Amino acid sequence: MPELQIIGITDIPEIQPGDDLPEILLRALSQQGRALEDRDILVIKQKIVSKAEGRLVRLKEVIPSEFAIHLARQMGKDPRHVEVILRETKRVVKMDRGLLIVETWHGFVCANAGVDESNVAGQEVLSLLPLDPDESAYGIREKLLRQTGVSVAVIISDTFGRPWREGLVDIALGVSGLKPIKDYRGQPDAYGRLLKATEIAIADELASAAELVMGKTEGIPVALIRGYPYTLEKGKGTELIRPAEKDLFR
């Protein structure tokens, strides 16, 4: 009777550049009367990681290019916002109907390169994805380990759209402490039949599961997943990015 719990961590204040996220997480947990346990998984929204890392651009400091001004008209966005999206873009995957789907410098394919409007201390800013979400996850995991002696896995999550299906789901940008893909190939299924091509993106599923307690309006940017069996292993969110040569939908 496998069972897991997903717990939303409340009482996390608005994050400012330079904030010590692991410290803030531990404080919020203790306010809930909870402590981390070995093999817990922490799922943390990209937005607060980006804020803590200062991955922010003040809108008023951006000078848009001609191309950004042109696109901004189609997209109904501020040209400075579009300028920042283009700076975060390695390759445009699709540009149509006011939508801009790009490949970021990390290799993520998503709308608007993950650039998002935000507020920091009353100023209009744009938040960018962390420079290296795996490194962000690793840093948080290591600091929590040092402070508490407890080994948890960390997933940095973000909300992405998908082709063919309506609605967005949370996926894993950065991962530390577990393999993001569970590989069943060659194992027998419940009926003894060998499984052929079953690699499950568990880090994405964990991110989606965490979103269910976070919501969008509740100010819950962190969830704790307890009871999911995994082995402590090196793993990176970049393993979830399909290499160009394997991708039918480049």
**Site residues (CB under 8 A) for its own copies, limited to 117-136:** 117-119
CB of 62: closest distance to its own copies in angstroms? 19
Binding to its own copies by CB under 8 A, coded x per residue (else -) over 21-50, reads -----------x------------------
**Site residues (CB under 8 A) for its own copies, limited to 149-168:** 159, 162-168
Residues 24, 209, 235, 236: which binds its own copies (CB under 8 A)? 209
Residue type, 59: L
**CA angle, corner 137, sides to 153 and 244, nearest 5?**
105
56 part of the interface to its own copies, by CB under 8 A: no
Helices 21-31 and 133-148, packing angle to 10 deg: 50
**Site residues (CB under 8 A) for its own copies, limited to 166-205:** 166-171, 180-182, 184, 187-191, 193, 195, 198-202, 204-205
Distance of CA 183 to the CA centre of its chain: 22
CB of 200: closest distance to its own copies in angstroms? 6
Q: What is the DSSP string of 31-97?
A: HTT----TT-EEEEEHHHHHHHTT-EEEGGG----HHHHHHHHHHTS-HHHHHHHHHTEEEEEEEET
Query: Quick one: 47 or 55, whose CB is closer to its own copies?
Result: 47
Evaluated on CA atoms 43, 137, 118, 11, the torsion sign reads positive
**Site residues (CB under 8 A) for its own copies, limited to 68-107:** 94, 96-97, 99, 101
